[in-house]
Amino acid sequence: MAIVVFEDLQCPQCRRVAPILEQASKTYKIPLVRHDFPLPMHNWSYQAAVMARYFDSISKPLGSEFRDYIFSNQLEVNPQNLRSYAEKFASERKVDFPFVVDPQGKFAAEVNADRSIGNAIKLEHTPTVYVVSNKNPNKPYVEMKDPSQLYQLIDAMMNQ
């Protein structure tokens, strides 16, 4: 089993749902698989996703922690100060943050690959959250429509 989310770091609903997903992952001891799906109308989410991929390259937990840090500061972040938030995050964790984050375009390609997956499955909103399981091959995933129902959804998938 796993929780799979397509999220946009500038999306207010993604910010509200992120701690719920993280807690459910810990409670049930199941992975939380995060996919970047920056929306075109958000003016800094794509760059934040690229930065998150940089931190992922150091360690996946660090990348997740950066995403949560950005969510927790989302209301103050803007295109002009995003980099300073990333630098502060890196400094507090004693991690280097390069002047050019993605010189080869590798991290942007990873974000674009996630976005392509989202487009291929015709995502309509962020966050889009699925609870996935290999227990029932006829119904390997269920979309979470209401965050307050997440635990019931996981329980139902576990009991199949």
User: Cβ(129)–Cβ(144) under 8 Å?
Assistant: yes
Q: What is the domain partition of the chain in residue ranges?
A: 2-158
User: Cβ(110)–Cβ(34) under 8 Å?
Assistant: no
State the chain's maximal CA–CA distance in angstroms: 50
pLDDT recorded at residue 76: 98
Q: What is the CA radius of gyration of the chain?
A: 16
pLDDT-flagged residues of the chain (< 70): none
Q: How far apart are CA 137 and CA 92, in angstroms?
A: 44
User: Cβ(47)–Cβ(10) under 8 Å?
Assistant: no
Query: What's the whole-model pTM score?
Result: 0.94
Output the six-digit token pair for 127: 């966050």
Q: How far apart are CA 50 and CA 78, in angstroms?
A: 15
Q: In 8-149, which ranges are continuous DSSP H helix? A: 12-28, 45-58, 60-72, 82-92, 106-120
Torsion, Cα 82 66 20 14, to 10 degrees, reads 30
CATH, domain 2-158, list 2.40.50.220, 3.40.50.300, 3.40.30.10, 3.40.50.1820: 3.40.30.10
